[in-house]
Amino acid sequence: MRMLAMVLALGLAGCISESDELDPVNDQGERVSGATSSLNGFWSSPAGSSSNVRALIYNGIVYAFDDSNGYYGSTDLLSDGTAPTELFAYALNTASGIGPEVVADGAPSDYLWDVLLSGDNDVLFGPYSVNGVSQGNVRLEKDDTWGNQAPLRLLTSAGEWTNSSYALRFTSPAPKSELVTFKAVAEPDSGCSFSGSLVLENGGRNNLYKVAISKRENCPAFNEPASGYAGFNADGNLEFYLRSNNTSSLLFFSFTPPAGATPPPDTEPPAGETDTGTEP
């Protein structure tokens, strides 16, 4: 009887372990359910709404910004379809002074989006509060870009990426490498520049890269290492969502690809294939 109990216990432990392995662990070291991971993707306030939120949700971690704040926090999709989203909001640093770049820092406010997943699982809608005081409603709609492939060749074969303030160039990866480096320099020349690396996330099967900024200097704000993610929006621009490694400051920006660059593929690789980003 004791032996049978031990066998049953080991079998149960094995099932739990196997199930746990199916659930990803996010950047905060938290295990995330498959339901919560279904929220992965890029979200925006609908056109014409009074808010102007742009957000990345990935394995329960949320990066977002609007016209007033940058946000960082977490969400969890519950069995009743609600997705309570707890965020720290940091005011935009209006002295950051580099064109389309968004820097958010300072003392945070506590935001709660008490939203419900609705529509065809592509709308988050519900009330929100600030420091416990109800403020109104928030509505976010999911882009249809998450299933797009993101091989490294989309970056390295294109040439110089630009926005109104920076020029950015990626290096070509070594054969079978899943990493490229990059450097951006402010235009006109203010001395502000940053550099870092970008690697495939999920083998390039989804519209997401993992980013590390190793050096950023001579900029009006946010001169520190950072990490986060990048992905393509519906217009084909490459968006970055970053958080300081040393403080709570946030950094967001986007780049337009060179004319004639190949747009991101709109389908996932065939089953069993992984895009390593080394194709010509």
**What is the per-residue pLDDT across 183-234, written as a single tens digit (0 to 9) for each?**
999 977 678 999 999 999 988 889 999 999 999 999 999 999 999 999 999 9
Q: How many CB atoms lie within 10 A of CB 79?
A: 7
Per-chain mean pLDDT for the chain: 86
Q: Which residue has the higher pLDDT, 260 or 59?
A: 59
Q: What is the pLDDT of residue 13?
A: 37
64-68, 145-149, 198-202, 263-267: segment of lowest average pLDDT: 263-267
DSSP 203: G
**Percent of the chain residues past pLDDT 90, beyond the cut:** 65
H or E stretch including 237?
Answer: none
Written as six digits, the tokens of 201 are 């996330």
Q: What is Dmax (Cα atoms) for the chain?
A: 79
Which residue do the tokens 């519906």 mark? 234
Give pTM, 2 decimals.
0.86
| Residues 71-86 pLDDT 10s | 999 999 999 999 999 9
**Pairing mode, strands 102-104 and 82-91:** unpaired
Q: How far lies 93's CA from each of 67, 165, 249, in Å? A: 11, 17, 10
Return the closest-CA partner of residue 194 out of 166, 161, 230: 166
**The pLDDT of residue 7 is above 50:** no
pLDDT above 50 (res 266): yes
pLDDT at 173: 78
| Residues present in the chain in total | 280
Residue type, 34: G
pLDDT cut 70: percent of the chain above it: 86
Beta bridge partners of 127: 137
Taking residue 171's Cβ as centre, other Cβ atoms within 10 Å add up to: 16
Structure tokens at 132: 């416990």
What was the pLDDT predicted at 22?
66
- Structure-block tokens of residue 168: 């950015």
Cα 3 from chain centre: 49
State the Cα–Cα distance between residues 205 and 139, nearest whole angstrom: 28
Closest CA to 186 of 158, 210, 213, 216: 216
Write down the pLDDT at residue 270: 36
Instruction: Please compute, for residue 228, the number of CA atoms within 13 A of its CA located in the half-sphere on the CB side.
Output: 27
Structure tokens at 224: 């520190």
What pLDDT, on the 0 to 100 scale, is given for residue 48? Answer: 80
What pLDDT band is residue 153 in, cutting at 50, 70 and 90?
confident
Please indicate whether residue 57 or residue 172 has the higher confidence score (pLDDT).
57
Does the pLDDT of residue 250 top 80, yes or no?
yes
Q: What band does 50 get if pLDDT is binned at 50, 70 and 90?
A: confident
